[in-house]
Amino acid sequence: MDIDKTAIHATSAARATALRAFATPPEPEPASIDVLVLDDSQFDAMCILRECRRTELPVRVTIATNMDHFRELLSKQRYHLVFIDYMLPDGDGLAAQQILRDGEKNGHSPVVMISGEARHDVAVRAMKGGCIDYKSKTDLTKDALKSLILRALEEGSKLARSHLDQSMALQKQDIVAAIRDVLREEMSSLAMTPFGAPEAMRRMLQSYGLIPEGDGYDWSQVLDDPAANFVFRTH
């Protein structure tokens, strides 16, 4: 029995779109690693900058000396890692961290809380607030900073993959919905055709990898059951 070639082409095009969507390349490594330091002590901030450069990583350090400057810098670009001094003249590190979390660009940026002296209570509050670590400034050696930077990049990569997976899932839903619309139109045109049309439709769907091979699959559910999904494959 002949099948409407327009429907076949439409289904094939939808399938090609699906394959292109799932071929999204991985996010490239950053050319430079942007680090933001919030510290009212210019001396301490410059020490962190110097040690970051000694890591031999492509680090670009920006320094904010107060909350207003910090807020301004956060609004301009994304940072791979943010160091926040707990003791600040116009607030504390936890308030600064909240400013970061509330922002659009850096709401998920990894944060390390730092302090002039090791304090257990600050460490606990910082980690509960979502910091990846708490460090005394005296512990911010070249090796410690390199480890923190690489850890932050790994955390950022995991987050990027999670966002990509969510985006891909939404794309897949849109593609499946588009394919269902094509099939509904085809079934509407076949409604008055002879009794072999459903079998012909099943064979066409199998030929394009949209449903499994065999006779036990009820292909009508691809139109009626929102929980049903297509099987995408390459030939």
Q: Dump pLDDT digits (tens) for 125-171.
A: 888 888 999 999 999 999 999 999 999 998 877 765 665 666 666 77
Q: How confident is the model at residue 41 (pLDDT cuts 50, 70, 90)?
A: very high
Q: Give the least confident one: 74-78, 116-120, 187-191.
A: 187-191
Percent with pLDDT over 70 in the chain = 60
Q: Tell me the C-alpha distance between 58 and 107, whole Å.
A: 23
pTM above 0.85, yes or no: no
What does the DSSP assignment read for 178-208? Answer: HHHHHHHHHHHHHTTS-TTHHHHHHHHHHHT
Angle at 74 between CA 91 and CA 35, to 5 degrees: 95
Percent with pLDDT over 90 in the chain = 43
Q: Tell me the C-alpha distance between 93 and 116, whole Å.
A: 12
Q: How confident is the model at residue 63 (pLDDT cuts 50, 70, 90)?
A: very high
